[in-house]
Amino acid sequence: HIQNKNKATMTKLTTLATILLTASSATAFSTSRPGNAIGQQHTSQTSTTLNLFGSKPKSDDSAGGPPAQPGMMDQLAMFKKAQELASKKNAIDKELAEEKIIGTAADGNIKITVQYIPPQLPANPSPGFESDGVEIDADYLESVSAEDLSASLVDAIRDGESKASEIVQQKYKVLEEDMKAIMGGGAPSS
């Protein structure tokens, strides 16, 4: 249950970061041009202004005006923050992929090494874990039944994945705080 919850959290963070990067890059360089439909008569003239050095003036929503949109500099700043966030995520993924986490069972007689596998976007957007090594005490192996050995191996794998999920969740807290800050919900971590 914890592993599924952590996978869901990781998938949500990855999806949100991807959407943020895509949306920021798409809106940072686009301008709306009303009346550009083919065959449409253009009867009124409108002007488009790009506020390159800051936000558009704040409109008074109570006066019925449209809400103000961020200017080009605001969008570029947001795009830069999204790039920094993606860079931090890649660094965390690399660090986690190099870390070896040990899951144990049968009073420490079985040890499973678990490795974090970062998401490979877009082909495999979900992160995962891979059992990288198994260590079984020789005396325990001689005395255990096949059924107990099998159950203990499963327990060790689950223990390793649970520990790995906790470590991943702790490391991704930094990204969560930074993402909240970008979206206006808090201060960024350093």
pTM equals 0.56
User: In 3-state terms, what secondary structure has residue 1?
Assistant: coil
Token pair for 51:
């506020």
User: In 3-state terms, what secondary structure has residue 116?
Assistant: strand
pLDDT tens by residue, 2-17:
556 666 666 666 665 6
Distance, in Å, from the CA atom of 113 to the CA atom of 107, rounded to the nearest integer, reads: 16
Sign of the four-CA dihedral 70, 71, 76, 77? negative
Q: Which of 106, 175, 169, 163 is nearest to 135 (CA)?
A: 106
Residue type, 30: S
What size, in residues, is the chain? Answer: 190
The answer to whether the beta carbons of residues 46 and 35 sit under 8 Å apart is: yes
pLDDT tens by residue, the chain, 190 residues = 555 666 666 666 666 566 555 554 444 444 444 444 444 444 444 445 554 445 555 554 555 555 555 556 677 888 888 888 889 999 999 999 999 999 999 999 999 999 999 888 778 888 888 988 999 999 999 999 999 999 999 999 999 999 999 999 999 998 888 888 777 665 555 5
Q: Which of 67, 70, 65, 68 is nearest to 54 (CA)?
A: 70
Per-residue model confidence (pLDDT) at position 176 = 87
